[in-house]
Amino acid sequence: MPAGFNTGQIEYIKAIANVNGHKTYKPIGYNRSATASTTNHLNQVTTDSKAAYGVWCLGTKPLMRDASGNIGIPTLPIHELDAFNIPKTANSDGEVSPFHREGDEGFLESTHINMRLLLPHSNGDTTFNPDHVEFRMIVFRARDRQHHLATHHKDTNNYMYNLFRGNANYNIGFSGLQKREEIQGDLTYGVNDAVASSGIYNVQSQDIMTIPVNKESWVVMRDHRFYLGKEYGGKNIYEDTFHWDWKDPIATASSDITETDNEKNYTWYIMLVANNNSLDTQDFPNVSVRFTGTTHMTSG
């Protein structure tokens, strides 16, 4: 909610601005029609190749800084959840569909997402095999605003280099490190493949389930672990929900409603990590993840 306004004041502002006329329900879907059990959405691995992970973000993936100091849209396989693409109506008859908004101005109410994780099988088999798979789910965002447009972004932190608290005065990620004293100064990252096995300079499979998040650079909404597999009664499904109560006035001609001047950071990440806790091998279970949801907006 915008600073300085309570719920009653927000409703009054909406009433006098006449933005309660049309309600938009933007559908959000990822992997909604996939049924193949060979799908694996945790398509990245730690440097020791013993834990798998995947990352999703609300909206378009933002500008980030890489190890060379360049700022741009990352090539990382971040799965985008299309939550904020709500175009204005183009109908000349005045009819506005439930998926469009009326005019430039409106009010972004909320985003609600349902997640369903399925652990169907491993190694291409047709039956459910894993004895034990441990998961960690982290929902987080950067402390300042991240955006895919240079005119709207302020924070270029890259979770691949500084999401976690490391050893020896480093923050670390899956690809490298950042010295802690540089958090408030120039952001510089380092890639240390030569010492990857030490676990000091990037995240290893035996660290990932317990290593603390770097909360100087990132805000955490949720961080918890859960378990699936034969050892847990054959359970192979996990379901969860996420809700963001935005309560923000929006004014933009763009279909991307985050291209507005309210300074809020709408780029939230959902990270899922899977680990069988083996010291030798990882069977990389084919984890299928499905997201469905709705962004609610009023306008007109």
pLDDT top residue among 35 and 142: 142
Q: What does the pLDDT read at residue 4? A: 54
Region 216-233 average pLDDT:
88
| Gap between the Cα atoms of 15 and 156, Å rounded | 37
Q: Give residues with Cβ within 8 angstroms of 257, minimum separation 6.
A: 84, 85, 86, 101, 106, 108, 250, 297
Which pLDDT score is estimated for 196?
A: 36
pLDDT (mean) for 233-242: 86
pTM comes to 0.85
Look at residues 87, 147, 113 and name the one whose alpha carbon lies nearest to residue 267: 147
**Residue 196: phi, psi to the nearest 5?**
-60, -35
Instruction: Give the pLDDT band of residue 68 (cuts 50, 70, 90).
Output: confident
